[in-house]
Amino acid sequence: MQMLGAVKDSLVGSLINLTGPGKYVHWGFIQISVANLVVIGLMVIVFFAAILIPFRRHGGRGR
């Protein structure tokens, strides 16, 4: 069980290093954390994907 936890920690740790202070982006008077910037970017991607990806229709009915 302890070994499983260590494997999990190393896997997560290899993806994102959560040790240390947060990283921020400074652009003029705008300051935003990288984490928040990533979430906003994902929302923009999902928004355009939701518009562009065709919606599956049932049984050939609909438009």
Task: Report in angstroms how near the CB of residue 56 gets to other proteins at its nearest.
Answer: 9
**Which among 43, 37, 15 is positioned nearest to 24, based on CA atoms?**
37
Contact flag: residue 1 with other proteins (CB under 8 A)? no
DSSP E strand stretches across the chain:
24-27, 30-33
Contact flag: residue 63 with other proteins (CB under 8 A)? yes
Pick out residues in 11-50 that bind other proteins (CB under 8 A).
39, 42-43, 46-47, 49-50
Task: Report in angstroms how near the CB of residue 25 gets to other proteins at its nearest.
Answer: 19
d(CA 13, CA 19): 9
